[in-house]
């Protein structure tokens, strides 16, 4: 089966609701233990949830469900979702995630690929938080959540790679040409990610950065371009992006983007470290 056909098949399965996404069980187990501690604080629970893209998406989706979203206000960040749900529901969700993970196995190569993808994701999420706060003046928690889930389609593809030998070999141009948007969009919808965040990720896929950046999509795309670690799936398309970030600069108020990012380097490093776990 050709790679394009495989990607279309996976996207079609997702659209029918046939989703089976493995998560980092260790992160979910840490969350379970933390939520069982009577001294656990909301910020600690939020930090643990943010370290797992699927869990972060599920928590926000659950907070926006009919059972919890009676107020009508859409939740678009993890901390607000934690406050709305409460620890008891979060612990049940973490238990379900761990149980599902136990049946999933991946090759060492796929685990390495996923680890590198998470390194990229952590950088993008941290950068998006800082850019939203200091450049585009948007909600930083929503920007970070968008960064956490912006590669969830790629994580899903890696989890399915064992079913299709050779799918993630070199020269994987099919991913960035059609698969990233098709599979990514289907996974995001299957996980009930808020439409505002999906729209921002669509901007990231399209790759058209407004100057100066103003929207959530601009925020995410700029963070993606500035991230020092590239997505390993993008590296497979044969189009290296090394050096691109160094050429991005613009005037933001009375400072340049480069000056702002230099001043924020410690914040970005701290956020990235917190998301690595």
| pLDDT above 90: percentage of residues in the chain | 15
User: What pairs with residue 251 in β-bridges?
Assistant: 256
Q: Is 126 part of any domain? A: yes
Decide if pLDDT at 271 tops 90. Answer: no
Per-position DSSP letters for 157-173, written without gaps between them: HHHHGGGSTTTTSS--H
Decide if pLDDT at 243 tops 50. Answer: no
Decide if pLDDT at 263 tops 60. Answer: yes
Give the dihedral sign, CA 184/189/191/193. Answer: positive
* pLDDT band per the 50, 70, 90 thresholds, residue 274: low
Distance CA 231, CA 235 (A): 7
Distance CA 157, CA 167 (A): 9
Contact, 98 vs 32, CB < 8 A? yes
Give the Cβ contact number of residue 86 at 10 Å.
Answer: 12
Q: Which of 76, 101, 126 corresponds to the end of one domain?
A: 101
Q: Is 16 part of any domain? A: no
User: 134 and 82 in one domain?
Assistant: no
Decide if pLDDT at 178 tops 90. Answer: no
User: 110 and 246 in one domain?
Assistant: yes
User: 267 and 169 in one domain?
Assistant: yes
Q: Which residue segment(s) compose the domain that 61 sits in?
A: 25-101
User: 135 and 270 in one domain?
Assistant: yes
78-133 pLDDT, tens digit per residue, is 999 999 888 877 877 776 666 656 556 567 888 888 888 888 988 998 899 899 98
User: 112 and 89 in one domain?
Assistant: no
Residue 251 phi/psi, 5° resolution?
A: -85, 125
Number of structural domains, the chain? Answer: 2
Look at residue 114 and give its three-state secondary structure: helix
Is the link from the previous residue into 212 a cis peptide, with omega within 30 of 0?
Answer: yes
Tell me the Ramachandran region of residue 74: left when phi exceeds 0, alpha when psi lies from -120 to 50, beta otherwise: beta
Q: Which of 70, 86, 101 corresponds to the end of one domain?
A: 101
Residue 256 phi/psi, 5° resolution?
A: -95, 160
CATH number, position 157: 1.10.3210.10
Decide if pLDDT at 39 tops 60. Answer: yes
Q: Which of 41, 73, 101 corresponds to the end of one domain?
A: 101
Number of residues in the chain: 277
User: 165 and 214 in one domain?
Assistant: yes
Give the DSSP letter of residue 73: P
């Amino acid at each position: 089966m050709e790679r394009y056909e495989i990607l279309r098949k996976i996207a079609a399965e997702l659209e029918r609701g046939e989703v089976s996404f493995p998560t980092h069980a260790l992160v979910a187990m840490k969350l379970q233990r933390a939520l069982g501690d009577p001294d656990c604080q909301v910020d600690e629970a939020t930090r643990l949830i943010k370290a797992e893209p699927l869990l972060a998406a599920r928590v926000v989706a659950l907070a926006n469900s009919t059972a919890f979203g009676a107020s009508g206000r859409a939740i678009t960040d993890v901390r607000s979702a934690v406050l709305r749900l409460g620890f008891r529901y979060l612990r049940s969700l973490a238990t379900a995630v761990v149980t599902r993970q136990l049946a999933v196995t991946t090759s060492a190569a796929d685990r390495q690929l996923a680890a590198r993808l998470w390194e990229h994701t952590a950088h993008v999420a941290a950068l998006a938080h800082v850019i939203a706060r200091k450049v585009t003046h948007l909600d930083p928690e929503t920007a970070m959540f968008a960064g956490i889930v912006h590669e969830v389609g790629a994580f899903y593809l890696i989890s399915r790679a064992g079913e299709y030998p050779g799918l993630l070999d070199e020269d994987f141009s099919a991913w960035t040409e059609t698969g990233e948007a098709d599979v990514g969009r289907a996974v995001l919808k299957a996980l009930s990610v808020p439409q505002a965040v999906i729209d921002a990720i669509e901007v990231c896929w399209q790759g058209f950065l407004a100057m100066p950046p103003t929207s959530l999509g601009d925020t995410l795309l700029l963070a993606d371009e500035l991230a020092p670690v590239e997505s390993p799936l993008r590296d497979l398309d044969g189009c290296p992006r090394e050096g691109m970030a160094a050429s991005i600069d613009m005037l933001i108020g009375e400072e340049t983007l480069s000056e702002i990012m230099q001043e924020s380097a410690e914040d970005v490093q701290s956020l990235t470290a917190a998301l690595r776990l």
